[in-house]
Amino acid sequence: MGVTVLLPYQIPEGKTGAQAIDYLTKRLLALGAIHTGQFLVDCETYISTPQHGPAKTVHVLHDSEYPASTFSILDNGAGKQIPLVADNLFDLLMLKMTSVYTSKKQTKIESKGARFEYGDFLIKLGSVTMMENFKGILIEIEYRPCVVLSYCWEMIRETLQGFLGMPIAKEYPAYFSQQIMNTMGQQQIHTKQNEVYEPIDTINQYLESFTNYRKQNVLPVAGGATGGASSAQNAAANMQGGNQRMR
Amino acid sequence: MEKLNSTLGAVRSLRSSVRQCFEQLADGTNAELAEDSRTKFLLKFQENFNNMNAQLREVESLINGLQAPQTPYCLGQTTYLAQETAPERQALYSQLVNSYKWIDKVHDHSFLAFNNLNQNNLRRSYVYCSQKRVRIPFTSCNNFDPDHTDKLLSEINLPLTSYQVCRPFGSNVVVIVTISRVLKAAIVCKGVLIEWVTVKGFDETLDPDDLWAESRYEVFRKVQEHTHIAMLHFFSPTLPDLAIKSYMTWLHSYSKLFLEACKRCGKFVSNGLPPTWRDLRTLEPFHEECRNC
């Protein structure tokens, strides 16, 4: 178990999601990475019924890297998140609690794709889908021997630049630079990049990205605005179609 | 020691006179011989008997004069020979004592010879020999007493590093070194000589009972190879303390294993690995491939 960085990949103009994944896969294999199977991270969200006070949300996540665990994060609506790591039986417990927590089926979101190993690096190219709709690409990179991000961020950055072919900012990713509250409610000087990394940090990063993708889904419908990964992809598909017809 | 020696001598002479007396008794007298030879035999026996008594008293008085030694004799590593269960190896102790005596004698003789030869001004070689140099080879570095090893290890104190000393194999030390939050290393010593090093990741378990299992990460397997190279490089039987201190300083340079770029190519990652080699003198980081070019 080592430090993991999750990075949403901006699909280049004029490419579909599948093409972008293909392109990245080719670059990874050329770099010397070895394809080692598939992975899947999924997230389901449950909302408490109104008769039980203010609305609370429970996000239940599974990660194929930790097949025996179910991760859940309880959001009390006031900005406080309580993580819980349990056995797989937790899923059955959630089924029993339908009177308190109801599942929002239409928001079930997952990221799945190929898993690569490059030395001690673990690289996963995940395509995010919600209700069978493609939403974007999430790149997960893990450096397994190291447990503190600030020690190995430069290594991770260099590897990422190596196969993405684009510059990555020198600063730590946003998730790691947030301040940690200690038990007294005071902000600590230490930020997350200097802490020992835990599997729940990976899950938190996934949840953050998934939440962003869900918001993207709401925005175009509400405001009718174009933009976001899905519309860009549609445009790209149209262009491609046009190209084919021309040939 | 002298008293003990004289007591042992007295016991020996007592045994010989007892033997003499019984031999004489066993021989007996010739039945046909005259009366005076019988009295002669009796007188001889009485003389022997008195002799024996006197010697017995002497032995007793000598034994009373003996004192128990204040401190038990330090037998060093040889005490573990008593725990040997294989019958063919139980005779090792007497062989050991013999060879010890032999070495002692060699040392004495060589010392005398050295003194004699030193008086001779005609030198055949230019090798400088002094009184001091005689003693150095006599300190064998794989047979230090445990206190010395403890003291030596407690003197090593590098930042961000913790040392845990344990002795799973008798008096020999295994030091578990945790460097920053980067790696753990188990250093198996014989006396103060390093015999083996195992390197593992910070999140892996390093059990003193299983020191031969390799790390699951490629980078630490590579680092372990390099620690073995350094182990041979820093080996110095004449100055074992300095050797172990320099080795620890070198090993400590791995606290920035993932943080430093290679000095030659300026990159962090090469073939999926960080710069795993540290220069033995300057402690600068290099990739394995960059190190020799």
Same domain, B116 and B152: no
Work out how many domains chain B is built from and give that number. Answer: 3
Task: Give me the pLDDT at residue A240, please.
Answer: 42
Indicate the number of domains in chain A. 1
Summary mean pLDDT of chain B: 84
Q: Note whether residue B81 is domain-resident.
A: no
Both B234 and B167 in a single domain? yes
Identify whether residues B108 and B150 lie together within a single domain. Answer: no
Residue B164 has pLDDT above 80, yes or no: yes
Note whether B150 and B173 are same-domain residues.
yes
Residues B130 and B150 in one domain: no
Concatenate the DSSP letters of all residues of A82-149 into one string: EEEEEETTHHHHHHHTTTTEEE-GGG-EEEEEEEEEETTEEEEEEEEEETTEEEEEEEEEEETT--BH
Higher per-residue pLDDT: B88 or A179: B88
A199 Cβ partners below 8 Å, 6+ apart?
A1, A63, A65, A66, A69, A71, A85
Find the domain containing B253 and state its range.
146-259
Q: How far does A6 lie from chain B, in Å, by closest CA?
A: 19
- Indicate if B129 and B150 belong to the same structural domain: no
Q: Which of residues 61-100 of A touch B (CB under 8 A)?
A: none
The predicted pLDDT at position A218 comes to: 59
Residue from A1, A142, A146, A157 to probe the interface with B (highest B Cβ count within 10 Å): A146
Residue that wins the pLDDT comparison between B98 and A186: B98
Backbone φ, ψ for residue A128 (5° rounding): -90, 130
> Has residue B219 been placed in a domain?
yes
In DSSP terms, which residues pair with A134 in a beta bridge?
Answer: A129
Which residue from B174, B176, B172 is spatially nearest to B146, judged by alpha carbons?
B172
The distance of Cα B197 from the centroid of its chain, to the nearest Å, equals: 21
B53-65 per-position pLDDT tens digit = 999 999 999 888 8
Q: A228-246 and A199-223 are packed helices; what angle lies between their axes, rounded to 10 degrees?
A: 70
Probe site for chain A from B268, B288, B289 (most A CB atoms < 10 A): B268
Which residues in chain A show pLDDT less than 50? 220-247
Contact in structure between A162 and A33 (CB atoms under 8 Å): no
Q: Which residue has the higher pLDDT, B153 or B200?
A: B200
Interface test with A, best of B259, B262, B287, B288 (most A CBs within 10 A): B259
Domain interval for residue A79: 3-246
Query: Cβ(B11)–Cβ(B66) under 8 Å?
Result: no
pLDDT at B33 over 50: yes
Pick the closest to residue A125 from A66, A43, A205, A40 (CA basis): A40
Q: What is the ipTM of this complex?
A: 0.80
What is the structure's pLDDT at A50?
A: 84
Q: B40 lies in a domain? A: yes
Domain endpoint, select from B134, B168, B190 = B134
Domain for residue B172, yes or no? Answer: yes
Let me know if residue B233 belongs to a domain. Answer: yes
Q: How far apart are CA B179 and CA A147, in angstroms?
A: 13
Kindly state whether residue B44 falls inside one of the protein's structural domains: yes
Q: Is residue B120 one of the residues assigned to a domain?
A: yes
For residue B123, name the pLDDT band (cuts at 50, 70, 90): low
Query: How many angstroms separate the CA of residue B266 from the nearest CA in chain A?
Result: 11
Interface list for chain B against chain A, based on CB atoms closer than 8 Å = 181-182, 201-203, 217-220, 257-259, 261, 267-269, 271-274
Question: Domain for residue B265, yes or no?
Answer: no
Q: What angle do CA A93, A98, A102 make, to 5 degrees?
A: 115
Question: What residue type is assigned to position B100 of the chain?
Answer: Y
